[in-house]
A and B are shown apart, each in its own frame.
Chain A
């Protein structure tokens, strides 16, 4: 009766989250020395420390958006002991990480395919908070599943509709409309069934920084969701973007995503693969587009 003293060793801080998540799921110890050994700013950054804390208990550091934390939670949530209900506070949308909106429209349907469904599964944006100051709040709830359903995602199907959310906080509500117009101008050439919601948050629910952005999702006849999004650059960092450009860029990104194909969009590839791995012994198949570097 000896405990496993197997310790998996990694170097550097890339794939930090995945390593921690996988170590948690597989109950194996990991050791990560030499984090940013060449950097001026040695060691873990604040957001990574914050992530480790999150694995314990939920305040997200504003250096990274909630999406950064949420992605890892999505991987863990179905396998924890009690149904998860996490209120995450911080930046809801920023240009580096997948935003909460994108995860909401792409990851959640994917999880449903794996049998994680029911009332419990939800990502709810209570308050929006743009980078750099944040101030947003997201409620993530997830039920516990003992086993994953095996999936056969081999037929992406044709795209039947495109939905989206254009949001603006602490800027003119007109921004959202301008985004929608420009995005539609591109997408309308492909499919008429487009509806882009405009979401203008006011007052307390608008966070601390101004900004706007667009999330688009294309749904196929087989229930595959492909998403894309673009955010405005945070206040005081780089050149401001025109809402028209943003809308067009986002639409093009969506087209790019469609071009890459697959039943799972590039943001969620690793999530899908993880769930497939952790499922029962049955064969799961899924068709992915070209793998993203993160996967």
Chain B
């Protein structure tokens, strides 16, 4: 976008045109000036009714714009916006993503595989995900999408997938939807083109909302969309605003963009179908994630998280915002599943991009001779031994491990080779084309059309990457198979170091050594799963530093992970301090008692346990006294003195509290200690009514809500002068503030409504939330509030079924949905349900149905019923055609008001509309009564004048099914 100096428009100063304009201008201004004067009747009230109506209407429009104000909880550094690109096959989804990536980052990504995170602007990152045509993917992605780019083939018109997806979105909270028309170049006739555009636009509007944005991508140029159009689309995406959705703001979730299997390879060897331990990586979104919570992975199941840790952001926003645009270094791209960011996932192997400078080193290694491989093989060999043993053998033998040692278990190592090929390093790829072929096989047919182009692009892109890594030689990057280490193996950190060393970062060695030493001390520290990537080696460094820092701090932080995270930010620790102030404040005016009271206070402090430690478990100074602490249910630690343990376990359960420190309130001094707690007592200087009166008479009323920190400073008498200056300054500021307040109150109050007040309140709260933990270290902060959205987290999940790993396909999204405290339970749910009007058949009671509710997709058997006038729930055999009905299912407990949708089958593609029903959860009642109308057929056996007894056969005979 070069800016050309354009010629400015020259106004005509003479000639007929100029005269005409001048005339017009003069007339116009005159008319406006005295129209009211000239024709007052035209401006008088013609009809009071009409006036009322117009007034009503304007007010209506104004009110319609209001949303219920919500507290702004978006973190300072929000997670990337999830942009889901959806559409029927062959509509150009991958092409669009590729174009967008190119637009934002100037990089080319050939194979769109899994989420791609890019920095799109100074304050925004995007995660682009392509949604394939599978209804499961559509459902999962609709739950996490912030923005949906809905691709529509204009030459064909709308397809069912589009409508299905829109309906899925509607149920799970509507994300922003932008339509994109493609294949517009197929229209030869201009008129039909514009007609089609208009028709599609209006149809789209009825589905989404009137005036929904629809983009037109006309024609392809060299297999890409036109740059200008993509740029426009990109601009729209980067300025879009999002309204928080209820479900998402109350549940944490992670869209995983990286997966690693941490299972012990030996266990897999013994039983290939054993449960796997997997770590998933991704940006945390939604709300705060607590360690040790339950997550649901759609399609896999519920799991409790073993460990959560946060990693340095792989795709950070620029640190300082100074310029107008991002420079090239800041336009980052992170897509580990697609191979960017250092890792390439293959069917059964993981590759790391290595700087090519070390190519020869690895090529030489046909046999494991270097330290790296030695240590790795050492790990394998000792896997069947105990942890401790393996540790010892490893650490004593980093250098001492010899091939003989390896040969001690020839069987194992051989089996190893056969069985788990992935653990072996594959031959180094010398040329690019081979890899390209591999990738192309995986990509869809669509790309085959453009294969030639892409190969070129590939090479370009890769070399670019290499350039970025600042590798001296221009040789193609070497790919090395990554070896997966079991978690919590101390060996792991070691191998990490080795890797870094082999990368030639000499500076790392020192740190590595340090760590080794620490390891040798026998401290099994939890570790990051692996070398992050080749790309962000700098971050690796940082991480290492952090890790070693952590180790130096002692094991307190690591250990404390098991303690309970309080969901609220109570700030109990400050209470102690504030308490001190409070007491001190009371002491200010009793000089003679000050000494005594301060002693008492100190005594109190000693007696009171450190609350922060108790609740959050972060303070790790005194781990020795842990014999007093018994852990309860993994949540609470009870710290109590040993002697009183027995007594207190059975103590009287009574909240009445008899203060032991009995002050003798008959004494005058004791009494005077609290005299200032009363309105009659002495006020602080700035709050004193007299002072205030002097300052400003009118302000007398609001002296009570003022707050300054002066009280406590008053104690430091030696800094009196300094204090005085500050005090004066503060006083001035205070006065200014009050004046402003008064001014605001006078002039703004006129149209300040309840709505505005509410909004103000919310804003204040948001500010407070932000401030509270602003300057707290991340490690500590995580302990308080959990992992906050926007962090890049690593979630370790044990006991995943092996199929998750064996059938892993990065084209299918992996979503980790956090569950609330009771959402892991199963129970009866009552819901309001309506058969979808486009679904061709009505639904039958007890026919299994697949529901998508909350994060979950599950199959269940619904009972349909309708509520009669007498409040009775009557069972229905079929859902009504066009009406809502009730449904009761046995399913996961989900909060009321959550929407759901039902499909009859998820496999295959049916011709007609797949969504069978939609609805909302109404109740979670465990004791619901549904009655069924029975027709009993029997025979009269005794007939009186007005009465007749009828013999009915057994229920089975009369058609009652249980």
A222, A258, A259: which has the most chain B beta carbons within 10 Å? A259
A27 adjacent to chain B (CB < 8 Å): yes
**Complex Cα gap A251–B674 (Å):** 13
Q: Tell whether, in the assembled complex, residue B568 and residue A279 are in contact, meaning their CB atoms are under 8 Å apart.
A: yes
Q: Tell whether, in the assembled complex, residue A3 and residue B826 are in contact, meaning their CB atoms are under 8 Å apart.
A: yes
B677 adjacent to chain A (CB < 8 Å): yes
**Which of A262, A266, A276 touches B582 (beta carbons < 8 Å)?**
A262
Knowing A6-B633, A277-B570 are in contact, say whether A294-B655 is a contact too (CB < 8 A). Answer: yes
Which residue of the partner chain A has the closest CB to B566? A277
B845 adjacent to chain A (CB < 8 Å): no
Chain A stretch 55-107: residues in CB contact (< 8 A) with chain B = 68, 71, 96-98
Contacts of A158 in B (CB 8 A): 676-679, 681, 683
**Complex Cα gap A158–B570 (Å):** 24
B583 adjacent to chain A (CB < 8 Å): yes
What are the interface flags for B561-583 relative to A under an 8 Å C-beta threshold, 1 for contact and 0 otherwise? 00000111111001100110011
Knowing A12-B650, A160-B679 are in contact, say whether A292-B657 is a contact too (CB < 8 A). Answer: yes
B651 adjacent to chain A (CB < 8 Å): yes
**Complex Cα gap A2–B73 (Å):** 32
Q: Tell whether, in the assembled complex, residue A36 and residue B653 are in contact, meaning their CB atoms are under 8 Å apart.
A: no
B648 adjacent to chain A (CB < 8 Å): yes
**Which of A2, A4, A27, A36 touches B650 (beta carbons < 8 Å)?**
A36
Binds B, one of A116-124, A164-172, A199-207, A280-288: A280-288
A159 adjacent to chain B (CB < 8 Å): yes
**Which of A9, A39, A159 touches B632 (beta carbons < 8 Å)?**
A9
Contacts of B673 in A (CB 8 A): 259
Q: Tell whether, in the assembled complex, residue A284 and residue B663 are in contact, meaning their CB atoms are under 8 Å apart.
A: no
**Complex Cα gap A26–B611 (Å):** 22
Contacts of B652 in A (CB 8 A): 14, 96
Contacts of A261 in B (CB 8 A): 579, 582-583, 586, 677
**Complex Cα gap A256–B681 (Å):** 17
B858 adjacent to chain A (CB < 8 Å): yes
**Complex Cα gap A134–B834 (Å):** 55
Q: Tell whether, in the assembled complex, residue A12 and residue B649 are in contact, meaning their CB atoms are under 8 Å apart.
A: yes
A245 adjacent to chain B (CB < 8 Å): no
Closest approach, in angstroms, between the C-beta of B669 and any C-beta of chain A? 13
**Complex Cα gap A27–B604 (Å):** 35
Knowing A98-B656, A221-B704, A294-B655 are in contact, say whether A186-B632 is a contact too (CB < 8 A). Answer: no
Knowing A189-B671, A273-B570 are in contact, say whether A16-B653 is a contact too (CB < 8 A). Answer: yes
Chain B stretch 644-692: residues in CB contact (< 8 A) with chain A = 646, 648-657, 659, 662-663, 665, 671, 673-681, 683
**Which of A8, A38, A190 touches B675 (beta carbons < 8 Å)?**
A190
Q: Tell whether, in the assembled complex, residue A14 and residue B649 are in contact, meaning their CB atoms are under 8 Å apart.
A: yes
Contacts of B586 in A (CB 8 A): 259, 261
Contacts of A294 in B (CB 8 A): 654-657
Q: Tell whether, in the assembled complex, residue B821 and residue A276 are in contact, meaning their CB atoms are under 8 Å apart.
A: no
**Complex Cα gap A185–B71 (Å):** 49
Contacts of B683 in A (CB 8 A): 158
Chain A interface SS verdict (over half): loop
Q: Tell whether, in the assembled complex, residue A97 and residue B655 are in contact, meaning their CB atoms are under 8 Å apart.
A: yes
Q: Tell whether, in the assembled complex, residue B765 and residue A96 are in contact, meaning their CB atoms are under 8 Å apart.
A: no
**Complex Cα gap A154–B816 (Å):** 39
Q: Tell whether, in the assembled complex, residue A96 and residue B656 are in contact, meaning their CB atoms are under 8 Å apart.
A: yes
Q: Tell whether, in the assembled complex, residue A150 and residue B677 are in contact, meaning their CB atoms are under 8 Å apart.
A: no
Closest approach, in angstroms, between the C-beta of A179 and any C-beta of chain B? 17
Q: Tell whether, in the assembled complex, residue B650 and residue A14 are in contact, meaning their CB atoms are under 8 Å apart.
A: yes
Which residue of the partner chain B has the closest CB to A51? B653
Contacts of B680 in A (CB 8 A): 190-192
What are the interface flags for A234-265 relative to B under an 8 Å C-beta threshold, 1 for contact and 0 otherwise? 00000000000000000111011011111000
**Complex Cα gap A190–B672 (Å):** 9
Which residue of the partner chain B has the closest CB to A155? B707
**Which of B294, B582, B611, B654 touches A96 (beta carbons < 8 Å)?**
B654
Closest approach, in angstroms, between the C-beta of A198 and any C-beta of chain B? 23
Closest approach, in angstroms, between the C-beta of A255 and any C-beta of chain B? 5
Q: Tell whether, in the assembled complex, residue A17 and residue B653 are in contact, meaning their CB atoms are under 8 Å apart.
A: yes
**Complex Cα gap A287–B577 (Å):** 10
Q: Tell whether, in the assembled complex, residue A221 and residue B679 are in contact, meaning their CB atoms are under 8 Å apart.
A: yes
Q: Tell whether, in the assembled complex, residue A281 and residue B768 are in contact, meaning their CB atoms are under 8 Å apart.
A: no
**Which of A38, A260, A283 touches B659 (beta carbons < 8 Å)?**
A260
Contacts of A189 in B (CB 8 A): 671
Which residue of the partner chain A has the closest CB to B684? A158
Closest approach, in angstroms, between the C-beta of B857 and any C-beta of chain A? 11
Knowing A3-B824, A4-B824, A71-B655 are in contact, say whether A34-B649 is a contact too (CB < 8 A). Answer: yes
**Complex Cα gap A221–B689 (Å):** 13
Q: Tell whether, in the assembled complex, residue A222 and residue B650 are in contact, meaning their CB atoms are under 8 Å apart.
A: no
Q: Tell whether, in the assembled complex, residue A267 and residue B655 are in contact, meaning their CB atoms are under 8 Å apart.
A: yes
Knowing A261-B583, A284-B569 are in contact, say whether A1-B633 is a contact too (CB < 8 A). Answer: no
A35 adjacent to chain B (CB < 8 Å): yes
What are the interface flags for B605-647 relative to A under an 8 Å C-beta threshold, 1 for contact and 0 otherwise? 0001001000000000000000000001101000000000010
Q: Tell whether, in the assembled complex, residue B656 and residue A97 are in contact, meaning their CB atoms are under 8 Å apart.
A: yes
Q: Tell whether, in the assembled complex, residue A267 and residue B656 are in contact, meaning their CB atoms are under 8 Å apart.
A: yes
Closest approach, in angstroms, between the C-beta of A35 and any C-beta of chain B? 7
B571, B635, B656, B659: which has the most chain A beta carbons within 10 Å? B656
**Complex Cα gap A189–B834 (Å):** 71
Q: Tell whether, in the assembled complex, residue A38 and residue B654 are in contact, meaning their CB atoms are under 8 Å apart.
A: no
**Complex Cα gap A260–B579 (Å):** 9
Contacts of B632 in A (CB 8 A): 8-10
What are the interface flags for A1-32 relative to B under an 8 Å C-beta threshold, 1 for contact and 0 otherwise? 11110111111111111000000001110000
Which residue of the partner chain B has the closest CB to A103? B655
B769 adjacent to chain A (CB < 8 Å): yes
B204 adjacent to chain A (CB < 8 Å): no
Closest approach, in angstroms, between the C-beta of B667 and any C-beta of chain A? 11
B288 adjacent to chain A (CB < 8 Å): yes
Contacts of A27 in B (CB 8 A): 821-822, 825
Q: Tell whether, in the assembled complex, residue B633 and residue A98 are in contact, meaning their CB atoms are under 8 Å apart.
A: no
Which residue of the partner chain B has the closest CB to A10? B632
Which residue of the partner chain A has the closest CB to B569? A283
Chain A stretch 103-134: residues in CB contact (< 8 A) with chain B = none
Contacts of A8 in B (CB 8 A): 632-633, 635
B302 adjacent to chain A (CB < 8 Å): yes
Which residue of the partner chain A has the closest CB to B578? A287
**Which of B765, B821, B825 touches A282 (beta carbons < 8 Å)?**
B765
Contacts of B678 in A (CB 8 A): 158-160, 190-191
Knowing A96-B654, A158-B681, A283-B768 are in contact, say whether A277-B568 is a contact too (CB < 8 A). Answer: yes
**Complex Cα gap A240–B161 (Å):** 83
**Complex Cα gap A222–B155 (Å):** 69
**Which of B73, B654, B825 touches A68 (beta carbons < 8 Å)?**
B654
Closest approach, in angstroms, between the C-beta of A70 and any C-beta of chain B? 11
Starting from the known contacts A158-B677, A190-B680, 15 additional A-B residue pairs (CB-CB under 8 Å) come to A1-B302, A12-B649, A12-B650, A14-B651, A158-B676, A158-B681, A159-B678, A190-B671, A192-B680, A253-B659, A277-B567, A281-B287, A288-B579, A289-B579, A294-B654
Q: List 9 A-B contacts (CB under 8 A).
A: A2-B824, A4-B824, A27-B822, A48-B653, A150-B765, A156-B582, A267-B657, A276-B568, A288-B575
Question: Top 5 A-B pairs ranked by shortest CB distance?
Answer: A12-B649, A8-B633, A292-B657, A14-B651, A27-B822
